[in-house]
């Protein structure tokens, strides 16, 4: 939820701190294309890759220009038209198209040792979202993967695509392949001032859409860092109704606040004069003596 500003504020430029600092979050993401059984412990990772989604540890920097687009996973190679990203899906190498369910007829296009190849599907065929134990159980266009909630048939998508996965999902899950990615749910949007996330364990915080790089506010699991405590990286993420803000050499959890509210919501010693500019979200900044 972007908030408009109508009074003088301390402008703080939001810089995206990518979750996992890139596509590789340090977790082994072996897929099941070699027939690895779910019981073997080899999976797609403990959680979906969200390298282009900002979490509660997003920090803001007051030292320069708006760098959010260069720090949230975007690269200089992204194609743009009038400033907007353009869908440029990659093409997987091999004998078939893993993103086209009809590419192999009654079989499925899977990853092989030297590119994609057609492989038989066992019956009963399991569709996207259904539980599985092996790749050959999943319908064409999907893979048997575990993103921390058990093995399910997950829909494949091409790296660089925008909108391929449909509403509520983005092509952001990684499986260790340069082109093949997986559709994953996008964090639900929310009102950062109202903190209206449905799950009490979540907090409404700053986020960036994994595909379009558009800034928005989204529900993410709240961290444990309290108001005024350091945050980001090894320090950890901020708790409920807090965002991680960097001002000068200090990075700390700050409370979002609506600068247009009739009453200043900030505690003693702070005022609603800070702003994460990319999102146009106000926050409580320490009052300078």
pLDDT at position 121 is 97
Beta strands in 62-107 (DSSP E): 80-81, 84-85
Integer Cα distance of 21 and 32 in angstroms = 25
What mean pLDDT do residues 129-150 have?
95
pLDDT at position 68 is 28
Q: Is the pLDDT of residue 97 over 70?
A: yes
Residue 208 structure tokens: 């960036």
Residue extents of the structural domains in the chain? 107-185, 202-286
Q: Is the pLDDT of residue 41 over 90?
A: no
Integer Cα distance of 222 and 196 in angstroms = 13
Q: Is the pLDDT of residue 196 over 90?
A: yes
Confidence of residue 182 (pLDDT cuts 50, 70, 90): very high
Q: Is the pLDDT of residue 59 over 60?
A: no
pTM for this one? Answer: 0.68
CB 89, CB 159: distance < 8 Å: yes
What mean pLDDT do residues 75-94 have?
58
pLDDT at position 90 is 87
What mean pLDDT do residues 182-205 have?
97
Higher pLDDT, 257 or 3: 257
């Amino acid at each position: 939820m972007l908030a408009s500003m109508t009074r003088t504020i301390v402008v703080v430029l939001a810089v995206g701190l990518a979750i996992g600092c890139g596509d590789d979050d340090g977790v082994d993401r072996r897929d099941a294309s070699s027939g690895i059984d779910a019981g073997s412990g080899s999976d797609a990772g403990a959680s979906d890759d969200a390298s282009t989604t900002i979490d509660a540890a997003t920090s803001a920097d007051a030292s320069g220009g708006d760098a959010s687009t260069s720090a949230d996973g975007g690269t200089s190679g992204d194609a743009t038209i009038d400033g907007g990203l353009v869908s440029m899906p990659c093409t997987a190498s091999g004998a078939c198209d893993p993103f086209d369910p009809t590419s192999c007829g009654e079989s499925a296009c899977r990853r092989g040792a030297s590119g994609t190849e057609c492989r038989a599907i066992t019956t009963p065929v399991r569709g996207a979202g259904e539980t599985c134990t092996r790749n050959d159980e999943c319908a064409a266009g999907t893979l048997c993967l575990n993103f921390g909630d058990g093995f399910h048939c997950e829909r494949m998508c091409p790296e660089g695509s925008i909108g391929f996965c449909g509403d509520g999902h983005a092509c952001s899950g990684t499986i260790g392949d340069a082109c093949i990615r997986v559709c994953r749910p996008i964090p639900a949007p929310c009102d950062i001032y109202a903190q209206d996330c449905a799950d009490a364990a979540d907090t409404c915080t700053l986020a960036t859409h994994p595909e379009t790089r558009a800034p928005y506010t989204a529900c993410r699991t709240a961290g444990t860092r309290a108001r005024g405590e350091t945050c980001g990286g090894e320090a950890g993420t901020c708790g409920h109704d807090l965002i991680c803000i960097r001002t000068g050499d200090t990075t700390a959890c700050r409370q979002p606040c609506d600068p247009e509210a009739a009453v200043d919501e900030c505690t003693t010693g702070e005022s609603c004069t800070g702003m994460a500019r990319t999102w146009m979200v106000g926050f409580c900044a320490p009052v300078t003596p």
